[in-house]
Chain A
């Protein structure tokens, strides 16, 4: 049964959740927000718009052991002590997790990912504010999710509509008092979503976009972006769906034991497409920025995994736009590839 919760019930709910799960949520850090462990409900700041890093860090740690070797080899990853719960995850980031699931669960499940995913509970939060770089609305991934959450909260004035999306979400809802949701509450939610949709300043026309990009591989925009791109890889590091990684070994001083680990990697880095004898299939920055934008808006979603069913890899969170030191904006790039004239970005 969906409920309507008063503002103070949310704090109560968070305290209850902290006693049952390891809870992560948006916390203020300087002028930004980060997903961090929440030990008390007042640490949580649900008025956030976005976080520096997306929550993929909970499922794909920056560095992760995939294999141990040597006489004293230990199991790869200890299990998390308790189930983990992300409180207040926005729709873009939640949809990003659904894309990561396709990569790491579908054909060759990665045991560490599968374990963490099984133990992850999500309490999603409909966005009421939109940042200058957000464009989830055009990617069909926001401002409110329609799947993938255990519980969905939507703030309606001083009250929250709380909708369960799974049996675990139902159980969570049973932890708090609240009135039964009525048709007018769902209507209010839909009105709110429409109102938020009106606030987006960035958009991407996704109609036939994979084909447009596929036919634009020789477009002058790539050289132009390659000229200004610093290949710093911040876009990739802050992307909620960029999953590429490098694999390396580390040997202990005794030279007998060690481990193999995977670590976040980026197609923007020169070494990424290197092969033997110094060959490099993406030696130019133009080719590398084309790979990043192409993967996100072109070949990444449309056809990379049949199971993605036409979803794009990009979820429109806007982080890559916010962090780019030279203001490369993939929404502008997409528009220019269609032949639209784009005013200088913010």
Chain B
């Protein structure tokens, strides 16, 4: 019987600094054939493990059809992430997963797609953008709304031009505040204000949202008041998963386990569950 807690060795092929405290790590399995690791789908998460320091769940921020080489974009906030911040290309970490249910890409085919992200919440949505770019003919309009506290806290700035060049794609940006002396040509205000101008209509569309729960709360309010229904809004929830496989209980919300039934849920599925403030 296979130990479900055994990490698989992976190598850091590439590290790219995204922001002062955020880096993207490209990981590949040391044994590319390892069957304990299934190809990653957009929206799923992986556990990254460092012996002696522990393990934590991270979202995957890239998509490729192989799914066995992938990026994860990590902000330095605690012990494990600070350690990862100090690693170099060629170093090894342990991974397991991928776990959970990702974004409803298959179900969304033929529809317009509205992506709404706040802060580092853009990372789990980034693979959706690559996936749609790669399968452009299968989707309608792609509209991306993204906001952060300040221009300095936006992530993936290098990618925005490329995203704007994807056929039938709109990117709208906003920040909560612009510090003195910083040039900013886009909106100022919280993410929900971008919803006022969206071109994607509720009919024949799907919405995918990731960001702080308080942001998602107001985003859902704004969307439903514009006529988007609870079952066409998908949200990625954050919890501190310790096991990833529905056993440790840390990510339980009512009858759902974020690790096993999520992290992506339709709003209809989580409405009214305890300890969700959306």
Contact = CB atoms under 8 A, between A and B. Distances in A.
Interface of A: 66-67, 69-70, 76, 103-104, 107-111, 114, 214, 217, 243-251, 255, 258, 260, 262, 265, 267, 272-277, 279, 281-282, 287, 290-291, 294-295, 298-299, 302-304
A108 to B, nearest CB: 4
B242 A247 contact: yes
Interface in B224-278: 238-240, 242-243, 245-250, 252-255, 272, 274-276
B240 A274 contact: yes
A272 B253 CA distance: 12
Contacts of B247: 103-104, 108, 110, 243, 245
B242 to A, nearest CB: 5
Contacts of A108: 4, 245-247
A247 B246 CA distance: 13
B54 interface: yes
B77 A277 contact: yes
A260 B5 contact: yes
Nearest to A250: B52
A251 B275 contact: no
B3 A76 contact: yes
B143 to A, nearest CB: 28
Given A243-B249, A299-B255, A249 B275 contact: no
A302 B254 CA distance: 11
Contacts of A290: 274
Interface in B76-94: 77-78
Nearest to B212: A279
A104 B247 CA distance: 7
A281 B78 CA distance: 18
Contacts of B242: 245-247
Which 3 pairs, one residue from A and one from B, show the smallest C-beta to C-beta distance?
A244-B249, A69-B51, A251-B52
B255 A304 contact: yes
B182 interface: no
B262 to A, nearest CB: 13
A265 to B, nearest CB: 7
A67 B51 CA distance: 10
28 contacts: A67-B3, A67-B5, A67-B6, A67-B7, A69-B51, A109-B4, A110-B247, A114-B1, A214-B254, A244-B250, A244-B252, A246-B250, A247-B55, A247-B242, A260-B51, A265-B248, A272-B250, A273-B240, A273-B250, A273-B275, A276-B240, A279-B238, A287-B274, A290-B274, A291-B252, A291-B275, A299-B254, A302-B255
A22 B55 CA distance: 36
B162 interface: no
B183 interface: no
Interface residues of B, number: 34
Contacts of B275: 273, 281-282, 287, 291
Nearest to B2: A111
Contacts of B249: 243-245, 265, 267
- Counting chain A CB atoms within 10 Å of each CB, the highest count among B242, B246, B253, B274 belongs to B274
Nearest to A246: B242
Contact of A245 (B248, B252, B255): B248
A177 B229 CA distance: 70
Contacts of B272: 214, 217
A298 B255 CA distance: 9
A206 to B, nearest CB: 16
A249 B54 contact: yes
Contacts of B3: 66-67, 76, 111
A143 B6 CA distance: 41
Given A108-B4, A245-B247, 16 more contacts: A66-B3, A67-B5, A67-B6, A70-B51, A103-B247, A107-B245, A108-B246, A111-B3, A243-B249, A244-B250, A245-B249, A249-B54, A260-B51, A260-B55, A291-B274, A299-B255
B12 to A, nearest CB: 18
A303 B254 CA distance: 9
Given A110-B247, A287-B275, A258 B52 contact: yes
B20 to A, nearest CB: 15
A246 B238 contact: no
Nearest to B260: A107
Contacts of B51: 69-70, 249, 251, 258, 260
Given A107-B245, A108-B246, A244-B249, A249 B254 contact: no
Given A273-B250, A291-B275, A247 B243 contact: yes
Contact of A255 (B52, B238, B252): B52
